[in-house]
Structure 1
Amino acid sequence: MIVRWFRQLDAHPASRDAVIGASWLLVGLAALQFGGYGLWGDLTPWQSTGGVFLLTLLGMALIATRRSRRPFAALGAGAAVAGVDLMFGGSLGVVLILTDLIYAAVKYGGDRGVRLLFRWALVAAIGCGAALVVFRPDDGRVVVLGVQWGLVLLVSGLWGWNVRRERLRTRATMSEEHGRATRRLRDRIAHDLHDLVANQIAVAGLHIEAAKLQSAGPRVDSAALTRGLDQAKRGTDEAHRQLRGLITVLTAVEDLDEVALIAPAEALEDLPRLLPAGRALRWSGQGRAGLWAALDRAPATRSHVVMRVLQELLANAAKHGTGDVQVDVGPMQAGPGPNAQHAGGHGLEVTVTNDRAPAGRVRPGTGIGISGAVLLLSGTGASLDAGPVEPVEQVEPVEPGGDSPTGRWRARLRLPAESDVERGRPA
């Protein structure tokens, strides 16, 4: 209850200032009760038994109710009331409220107003110091009074300045962190649109293109044609579903990490559908069963990310390659670089290989898929490298038109064992 009350005060500056003003009034009344007035009575022209100090205290408490909403106006009015209070000897409550008004002016005031305040304070300090040197008052207590008030004003201003600078540093840090979070969110949205929507549409287009080629041939396989068109429709339906899901997430301003996790078994069954008719997905090594066993033992979030990346690799092979796609599953092998320490059966290595299509046959890739896949893998302990391998020396044409592939493309996904990830080994 108390915490909620403080939060409400923080959200309503008028109520907060009213509470602060009332608190200062109570402190000032207590100071008057215990004789906290007439502090410099021997040096002032007028004397009072306490009535004036009560009035100045009430005025300062009323001014304090505007300390954060009109900081400079409150400081000006408070300085005038404090001057009157000082002419009668000064009171502790008024001095304390004045220090708070100086603090609030420096903390809440605008940049230009704070600069002007410090400039005028510096000019006043230099002027008062010069006056004390030139006129040299006979009573040395006047100098002591000037030093005391100078310290009161200086400490109050520096206190407010320190809090102001700390608040500005905190705001800058939060703004920088917000910028980084926004960039990460933008990258995540772009990658989700690429993986979940653009890839499905592109693969559907490949199925439609394959169906057109079949229908243009001398012998039309109606069953294969129907299967290709069904695959294309399934892809466009999935793209539509994913796009509506992303729109819902963005509209609700929810965390993009809160998505339905991919079940490895279902995702592995759907992988061949990413390839158009006439192109097959060929497993080797431990095959699909070995990959499923590894993903089934892994945490659900890690399996989800791995399947997202594998889908991206196959979609890239379908869009930018030709012929069948080979997926080899086996133990992680030793090799150059940081993954060498995983040799000896620690973890799994999934290698996706396909022929590269001749230049001009496919649209060149933008690289967002691979870079987004690397972004997805960050924090899972897995790693990905992809690139061309040796050119093909002699192959048969794989598509109508007599064109042959110009080389091979290989993407290697390394999945260290869970024990290696927990120990912090690099992937």
Structure 2
Amino acid sequence: MTPADPVAYREGVIRTIPRFWLVLDIVGSAIGLLLTLPLTYVFEAGTMSRWIPDGPVSILLVLLVAVIQWGAAAISRLSPVLALIVAWFGALLQMACGFSPGAYNLAILAVVFATSAWGSMRLLWIGGASALGGGLIAGGYMSLINEEALIQDTETGLRVALVAVLLGTVSVLTLVMAWGAGLLWRVVLHGRRTRDAQVRAEAVAVAEQERVRIARDMHDVVAHSLAVVIAQSDGARYAAAADPAQATAALTTIGQTARAALSDVRLLLAQLRHSEGQGPQPTLADLETLYTQVRAAGIEPRVTVDPMPPGEPPAGIQLAVYRILQEALTNAIRHGAGDVDVWLGWHADHVQITVRNAVPPTPRQAHMERGHGLIGMRERAQLVGGTLSAEHEAVGFVVRAVLPIGPAAD
């Protein structure tokens, strides 16, 4: 909620509102005063007060009451509590002078509206009580000052009571309707703020999901590439003395892997800077390149695909399969011992992935469980509605995944 929010509710006396709304309220109240004051004089066209003789004093007092009440309307958005106090003062002054209700009393409706529309919860109910009590007082006051004009038969006091009830009911309904309109506007503003907050929360959630996705992609790319580079550099260091040609081949593989990783990293950074498409993503056609990189790191992936894909799998499934295999093979390079068995089973409604590799005599399970790789693989599977498990077994470390194939997965 910004400080300039024109609908913010405050417990303080003065609210912070944009200057535009303050100027609009002042100008509107001035126009209301100029329109209603002449109408008051026209419709009265006789005795202005029951207790003050007609003359300059009576006219000035009517003008003062009108200015006070419209002044309260002018500050009703800026300070609903002050506006209510000023409006009550103007109404009591009007009754003390014995003035009949006039057109300028419409300003009170604006004040009652403001108490429920922009006031605090406490002022909301104070405004409602003021509408109810003020309407009853106004009804009794009008019946009192018009008793002689309306009641000619002095023997029937019941008629005076009935007139008071009628006028009080009309006054209460009028003020309560103004208060209810403000309450309705308050509900509308609350709904608008709730929708805005929901939109902001959804935007934050989308941004967080994108951040997690990019972090996962960055880990997949960098971890795999660095694993290959480290394996090749270690092999080149040991082979340099015995076979310089093999060292040169290893350096060539290192350069190719680093360039590919740099290209992927630049693509991810571009996604961070721009909100454009995700760009090209790995597919099943890139698996052979992945296997070649693993072979270059000194590990032979024994790949079995049975059954074969019945058609073109959805792009999301292809990406998930690639990333899961990439991370599993990267873990085999970093933590495994010996070659890796990869099995892919493409069925009509799902694909099964199994990656098995031997482990050293002392497994590094605790280290692997703390890493981001296994978490990333599970997230990959969950994003497409699948499941993934990774655990040590008698035959070594085994990663198993089942990914559904269908419109929902795509």
If the TM-score is normalised by the length of the shorter chain, which range does it land in?
A: 0.5 to 0.7
Asked whether the equivalents of residues 340 and 358 of structure 2 are also in contact (C-alpha less than 8 Å), the reply is: no
Report Cα offsets for 1:401-427 as digits up to 9, x if no partner: xxxxx14222232221x5xx5xxxx99
Asked whether the equivalents of residues 354 and 408 of structure 1 are also in contact (C-alpha less than 8 Å), the reply is: yes
| Partner Cα distance (2:180, 2:293) in 1 | 66
| Partner Cα distance (1:242, 1:47) in 2 | 88
Query: What's the CA shift for 1:90?
Result: 0.9
Equivalent of 2:344 in 307, 328, 347: 328
| Partner Cα distance (2:99, 2:75) in 1 | 25
Query: 1:255-270 residue pairs with structure 2 within 5 A?
Result: 258-262=277-281, 264=283
Equivalent residue, structure 2, for 1:399 = none
Asked if 1:315 corresponds to 2:326, the answer is: yes
Asked if 1:98 corresponds to 2:128, the answer is: no
SS in 1 for 2:112: helix
SS in 2 for 1:164: helix
Equivalent residue, structure 1, for 2:10 = none
| Partner Cα distance (1:262, 1:27) in 2 | 70
Query: What's the CA shift for 1:65?
Result: 3.6
Report Cα offsets for 1:367-410 as digits up to 9, x if no partner: 53145325643xxxxx32222589455xxxxxxxxxxxx14222
Asked if 1:354 corresponds to 2:355, the answer is: yes
Change (3 A) 1:391 1:128: same
Equivalent residue, structure 2, for 1:372 = 379
Equivalent residue, structure 2, for 1:226 = 251
Equivalent residue, structure 1, for 2:3 = none
Equivalent residue, structure 1, for 2:117 = 107
Equivalent residue, structure 1, for 2:402 = 412
Asked whether the equivalents of residues 231 and 273 of structure 1 are also in contact (C-alpha less than 8 Å), the reply is: no
Equivalent residue, structure 1, for 2:305 = 284
| Partner Cα distance (1:317, 1:307) in 2 | 15
Asked whether the equivalents of residues 391 and 407 of structure 1 are also in contact (C-alpha less than 8 Å), the reply is: yes
CA RMSD after TM alignment: 4.7
Gaps of 5+ in 2: 1-16, 142-146, 148-156
| Partner Cα distance (2:382, 2:49) in 1 | 73
Equivalent residue, structure 2, for 1:202 = 223
Bigger CA radius of gyration = 2
SS in 2 for 1:69: coil
Query: What's the CA shift for 1:236?
Result: 4.6
Change (3 A) 1:75 1:128: closer
Equivalent residue, structure 2, for 1:14 = 22
Equivalent residue, structure 1, for 2:80 = 71
| Partner Cα distance (1:44, 1:68) in 2 | 34
| Partner Cα distance (1:388, 1:240) in 2 | 27
Query: What's the CA shift for 1:360?
Result: 0.7
| Partner Cα distance (1:167, 1:181) in 2 | 21
Asked whether the equivalents of residues 47 and 89 of structure 1 are also in contact (C-alpha less than 8 Å), the reply is: no
| Partner Cα distance (2:304, 2:28) in 1 | 74
Change (3 A) 1:159 1:200: same
Asked whether the equivalents of residues 304 and 344 of structure 2 are also in contact (C-alpha less than 8 Å), the reply is: yes
SS in 2 for 1:294: coil
Matched length: 354
Q: TM-score, normalised to structure 1's length?
A: 0.63
| Partner Cα distance (1:203, 1:186) in 2 | 24
Change (3 A) 1:118 1:357: farther
Equivalent residue, structure 1, for 2:201 = 179
Aligned letter for 1:193? A
Asked if 1:215 corresponds to 2:236, the answer is: yes
Asked whether the equivalents of residues 198 and 239 of structure 1 are also in contact (C-alpha less than 8 Å), the reply is: no
Change (3 A) 1:45 1:306: farther
Report Cα offsets for 1:61-101 as digits up to 9, x if no partner: 45434332232223333333344455411124x33321121
| Partner Cα distance (1:30, 1:353) in 2 | 91
Aligned letter for 2:112? I
Query: What's the CA shift for 1:183?
Result: 3.5
Report Cα offsets for 1:26-56 as digits up to 9, x if no partner: 8747965984x69xx9996458799676775
Change (3 A) 1:19 1:316: farther
Change (3 A) 1:97 1:122: closer
| Partner Cα distance (2:110, 2:131) in 1 | 19
Equivalent residue, structure 2, for 1:248 = 273
| Partner Cα distance (2:386, 2:382) in 1 | 10
Query: What's the CA shift for 1:107?
Result: 1.5
Aligned letter for 2:186? R
| Partner Cα distance (2:39, 2:132) in 1 | 33
Gaps of 5+ in 1: 1-8, 333-341, 343-348, 378-382, 394-405
Change (3 A) 1:389 1:243: closer
Larger displacement relative to structure 2 (222-231 or 97-106): 222-231
Q: TM-score, normalised to structure 2's length?
A: 0.66
| Partner Cα distance (1:128, 1:374) in 2 | 72
Asked whether the equivalents of residues 200 and 235 of structure 1 are also in contact (C-alpha less than 8 Å), the reply is: no
Change (3 A) 1:154 1:241: same
